[in-house]
Amino acid sequence: MNALKSDAPVADAPVADAPVTDSALSPAWARVQLALLVLAVDPAGLGGLWLRARVGPVREAVIAGLAAVPLPVRRLHPGLGDEALFGGLDLTATLAEGRQVRTEGILARPSLLLLTMAERCPPGLAARLAQALDRPRHALVALDEGAEAEEVLPPVLADRLALFLALDDIPLAERVPLSLDAPVIAAARLRLGRVRVPERAATVLTGVAASLGIDSLRAPLLALRLARVLAALRGHSGVRREDISTAAELVFAHRATRWPEVVDAPPPAPEPEPDQPSDTQGESRPGPEDIPEELILAAVRAALPQSLLDRLAAARVARASAGATGAGEARAGQRHGRPLAARPGPPSAGQRLDLIATLRAAAPWQRIRREAALADRLVHIRPSDLRIKRHEDRSERVVIFAVDASGSAALARLAEAKGAVELLLARAYAKRDHVALIAFRGAGAELMLPPTRSLVQTKRRLAGLPGGGGTPLAAALQLAQATAVRARAKGLTPILAPRRKPPQRPGRDAAFRRW
């Protein structure tokens, strides 16, 4: 922070402002061009770009614009291991030369990391990339292809990326080749170190971030850094009002967690008469120390898309719920699932030898073993070198729907319950989950549909669900438990989704509020 602060007043350069983006572009595409420009000027300082878009020509045009970033591009995938990131043992060279030969990892040199399928990035890889971004050597472009609301970039990475772009709403007709002027970018890089930031700028950006419900201190720091980059691109010697406003829109819009209440800005002071001297005469533009915080907050509020806030809120709720991961419980697998690190031990029934991991464990000791061994062998393997393959598999889920079909919930309330269950069914079908349907009314509960993946059959059974009678809640709980036990015995992960009408009578119905 101290490197970004300056107590000197803002003094703008005597050069005329030049438009940073092409005025002929649409607003959405101009925002894309501006994001690529600032990323090309200071990629390591801004952390990178969160790019949420499906695979298509629009996304490919944006990726092609990354050629202006002065860093080599290295592609990553969610299944990348520590050896590829930090380097490891070159098995072939080590066995051939009889000494340890190590390979260079991706993070050994500054680079632009292009992470595909970033919404599936595991926590371990996200933590390692976040640690690399904390040192200003790398920049990350996270390609988020998430189709569901809960499939988003890990927060530990999203917090370190200053820029965010969503391309799903940009029509293909608006896609044009992005013109990133190399001389302008080079001049901005040279000017960036001399751009002055007054003390008031950090205070304003921190207050705006707090008003938007942003609790991370990295957000105002990244916005302050981005304001400097924008000032350098526009030829300013100091940060101006429009630089702070644009930086706040780009950094805060996708991080906001609530709609701010904007207080009306005070009316502007009346202009002095021509014959009266003015204290502000000779100043070309107001600096950040003169800008009200309400104006910046209003500008960011205008840039907040309601759909984006709804999607982020839905993602937080989905991550907080137990069954929102879209997969069942993790379990150890011997032949299927995601590969894990091998463990020492001899192979036995149902366990397979990891040949590569065994050779890696034995390679550093080959010279010593060749000198000590009597027999002339190419490779000396000891029992302590043996490694076993491990996998992590996830069981399939079964969502058990328990619907209240009693007389008190008939007609309108039963229709409402069916509609809610159908929405849950559509989501379960998209995740290829099994579904089971239990209806309770009258004197007991009935398993109307055993666990199945047929959405059509489930809807048909639900549409013909009769109503009437009492509310046998205990019978429904017993049947749901029995169904869950049978599903778990078959290797499925059961999840209960009850749906009943809200209680209408005091007394005994009050006990149902916990259902």
- Yes or no: say if 150 and 36 are a contact pair by the CB < 8 Å rule: no
Of 296 and 506, the structure prediction assigns the larger pLDDT to: 296
Residue 43: CB atoms within 10 Å: 24
Predicted confidence band at 29 (pLDDT cuts at 50, 70, 90)? confident
Of 128 and 6, the structure prediction assigns the larger pLDDT to: 128
Top mean-pLDDT range of 16-20, 71-75, 181-185, 311-315: 71-75
pLDDT at 9: 36
What is the overall mean pLDDT for the chain?
A: 75
Q: Which amino acid is at 190?
A: L
Interatomic CA distance for residues 251 and 243, integer angstroms? 12
- Residues with Cβ < 8 Å from 238, sequence gap 6 or more? 9, 10, 11, 12, 195, 196, 197, 198, 231, 287
- Yes or no: say if 316 and 152 are a contact pair by the CB < 8 Å rule: no
The mean pLDDT of 11-34, rounded to a whole number, is 63
Predicted confidence band at 459 (pLDDT cuts at 50, 70, 90)? confident
Edge-first strand listing for the sheet containing 330-333: 330-333, 387-394, 338-344
Poorest-pLDDT segment among 72-81, 303-312, 402-411, 451-460:
303-312
CA 246 to chain centre: 23
Parallel, antiparallel, or unpaired for β 139-144 and 112-115?
Answer: parallel
pLDDT at 122: 87
pLDDT at 514: 33
The mean pLDDT of 119-139, rounded to a whole number, is 90
- Torsion over CA: 203, 206, 211, 215 (sign): negative
Q: Is the pLDDT of residue 512 over 50?
A: no
Of 394 and 277, the structure prediction assigns the larger pLDDT to: 394
Computed on alpha carbons and rounded to an integer, the radius of gyration of the chain in Å comes to 30
- The model's pLDDT over 193-205, given as tens digits with 9 standing for 90+, comes to 899 888 888 888 8
Predicted confidence band at 110 (pLDDT cuts at 50, 70, 90)? very high
pLDDT at 268: 53
Poorest-pLDDT segment among 273-282, 305-314, 441-450, 485-494:
273-282
Q: Is the pLDDT of residue 174 over 80?
A: no
Determine the 3-state secondary structure of 339 from DSSP: strand
- Yes or no: say if 133 and 160 are a contact pair by the CB < 8 Å rule: yes
pLDDT at 450: 83
Query: Is residue 215 classed exposed, middle or buried when 0-12, 13-18 and 19+ CB atoms within 10 A define those classes?
Result: exposed
CA 2 to chain centre: 30
Predicted confidence band at 372 (pLDDT cuts at 50, 70, 90)? confident
Q: Which amino acid is at 69?
A: V
Instruction: Measure the N-to-C terminal CA separation of the chain; round to a whole number of Å.
Output: 51
Q: Is the pLDDT of residue 437 over 70?
A: yes
Predicted confidence band at 211 (pLDDT cuts at 50, 70, 90)? confident
pLDDT at 12: 39
The mean pLDDT of 224-249, rounded to a whole number, is 90
Interatomic CA distance for residues 465 and 250, integer angstroms? 51
φ and ψ of 325, to 5 deg: -80, -15
The mean pLDDT of 120-140, rounded to a whole number, is 90
pLDDT at 391: 72
pLDDT at 48: 93
**Which of 166, 180, 199 is CA-nearest to residue 37?**
180
Interatomic CA distance for residues 218 and 209, integer angstroms? 10
Of 96 and 255, the structure prediction assigns the larger pLDDT to: 255
List, in order of start, the domains of the chain with CATH numbers: 27-263+286-306 (3.40.50.300), 331-394 (no CATH), 397-514 (3.40.50.410)
- Residues with Cβ < 8 Å from 5, sequence gap 6 or more? 197, 198, 199, 202
pLDDT at 219: 92
- Torsion over CA: 37, 43, 45, 51 (sign): positive
Interatomic CA distance for residues 470 and 197, integer angstroms? 71
Predicted confidence band at 357 (pLDDT cuts at 50, 70, 90)? confident
**Which of 497, 512, 501 is CA-nearest to residue 412?**
501
